[in-house]
């Protein structure tokens, strides 16, 4: 058991605040959309899309439950961290499949119906592979009154590769959404139709994937300590916050 430095304690405090905010968002989202889950999944015939939606929601709940479940003993913290890693990996797989399914649906009539979704799947597996690499080479260090996981050997090249693949994935989804939907959106506006599936795709899809794209770009910028807004003391906190939200 080791002592906790002031910098490490501050980083853990920030990550705890972020985790609590994630829990609040998770509870709010689930409470507001539970009736939609019943209507879209439980009262209809099961499809690949509905099962994907259901798995994403329950993985989200499981991930929050694991984070806020206290360890029974010091040795049980290791199992807790392993379970966190598995739920995080499951979430990454679901979101990659969701992105590929979205691109496939948008490009349904094009020649690249299967090629581009496969590229999305390949790009989505890169962060999963690099995270598994980091988890295998990580060590768990027990600290008084806290539990802490420190990654060993995760090079900047691996981290950079993870973010670049995520940026490419988000950019492809955004490009596909705008390329195939913007013309329909203009037609809807021309005939004064304010609500349509195309409108939802452009609005919600653009906001979601543009936000992920911005976060991934900021993470790449924080890899360099030479930037004017990045110092060794706040770099770890910035990366911790951004990683937890992606």
Most confident of 3-7, 40-44, 156-160, 211-215: 40-44
pLDDT-based confidence at 184, cuts 50/70/90? Answer: low
**Is 60 exceeded by the pLDDT of residue 195?**
no
Whole-angstrom distance, CA of residue 14 vs CA of residue 10 = 6
Whole-angstrom distance, CA of residue 124 vs CA of residue 175 = 16
Tracing tokens 């300590």 back to the chain, one arrives at 225
- Looking only at Cα atoms, what is the longest distance across the chain? 68
DSSP letter (8 states) at residue 202: I
**Is 70 exceeded by the pLDDT of residue 28?**
yes
In Å, how far are 1, 16, 18, 156 from 244, measured between CA atoms? 26, 10, 8, 18
- Domain parsing of the chain, residue ranges: 6-244
Whole-angstrom distance, CA of residue 145 vs CA of residue 131 = 27
Higher pLDDT, 81 or 124: 124
Mean pLDDT of 3-27: 75
Mean pLDDT of 134-152: 58
The string of pLDDT tens digits covering residues 96-108 is 888 888 888 877 7
Angle of the 232-244 helix axis to the 6-37 helix axis, nearest 10: 20
Most confident of 74-78, 110-114, 128-132, 211-215: 128-132
**Is 50 exceeded by the pLDDT of residue 23?**
yes
Average pLDDT, the chain: 71
Cβ count within 10 A of residue 135: 18
pLDDT-based confidence at 185, cuts 50/70/90? Answer: low
Tracing tokens 């509870």 back to the chain, one arrives at 27
Higher pLDDT, 232 or 119: 119
In Å, how far are 15, 37, 55, 94, 165 from 120, measured between CA atoms? 30, 26, 19, 12, 9
pLDDT at 122: 92
Mean pLDDT of 68-92: 70
Tokens of 99: 């992105």
pLDDT-based confidence at 121, cuts 50/70/90? Answer: very high
Whole-angstrom distance, CA of residue 7 vs CA of residue 232 = 10
Quote the Cα angle for 81-22-150, to 5°.
30
The string of pLDDT tens digits covering residues 32-75 is 888 888 887 888 888 877 888 888 888 888 877 777 766 545 55
CATH-assigned architecture of domain 6-244? Up-down Bundle (1.20)
pLDDT at 116: 87
Cβ count within 10 A of residue 189: 12
**Which of 236, 175, 244, 177 has the alpha carbon at shortest distance from 215?**
244
Whole-angstrom distance, CA of residue 208 vs CA of residue 98 = 13
**Is 70 exceeded by the pLDDT of residue 115?**
yes
What residues contact residue 227 under an 8 Å CB cut-off, 6+ apart?
221
pLDDT at 230: 45
């Amino acid at each position: 058991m080791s002592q906790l430095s002031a910098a490490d304690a501050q980083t853990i405090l920030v990550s705890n605040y972020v985790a609590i905010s994630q829990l609040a968002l998770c509870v709010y989202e689930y409470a507001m959309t539970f009736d939609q889950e019943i209507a879209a999944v439980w009262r209809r015939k099961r499809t690949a899309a509905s099962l994907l939606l259901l798995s994403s929601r329950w993985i989200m709940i499981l991930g929050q439950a694991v984070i806020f479940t206290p360890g029974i003993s010091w040795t049980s913290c290791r199992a807790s961290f392993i379970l966190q890693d598995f739920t995080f990996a499951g979430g990454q797989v679901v979101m990659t499949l969701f992105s590929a399914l979205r691109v496939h649906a948008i490009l349904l009539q094009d020649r690249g119906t299967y090629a581009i979704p496969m590229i999305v799947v390949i790009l989505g597996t890169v962060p999963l592979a690099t995270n598994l690499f980091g988890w295998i080479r990580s060590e768990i260090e027990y600290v008084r009154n806290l539990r802490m996981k420190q990654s060993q050997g995760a090079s900047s090249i691996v981290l950079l590769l993870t973010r670049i693949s995520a940026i490419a994935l988000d950019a492809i989804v955004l490009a596909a959404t705008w390329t195939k939907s913007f013309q329909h959106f203009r037609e809807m506006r021309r005939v004064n139709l304010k609500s349509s599936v195309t409108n939802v795709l452009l609005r919600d899809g653009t906001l979601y994937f543009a936000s992920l794209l911005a976060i991934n770009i900021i993470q790449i910028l924080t890899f360099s300590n030479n930037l004017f807004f990045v110092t060794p003391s706040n770099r770890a906190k910035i990366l911790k916050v951004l990683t937890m939200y992606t």
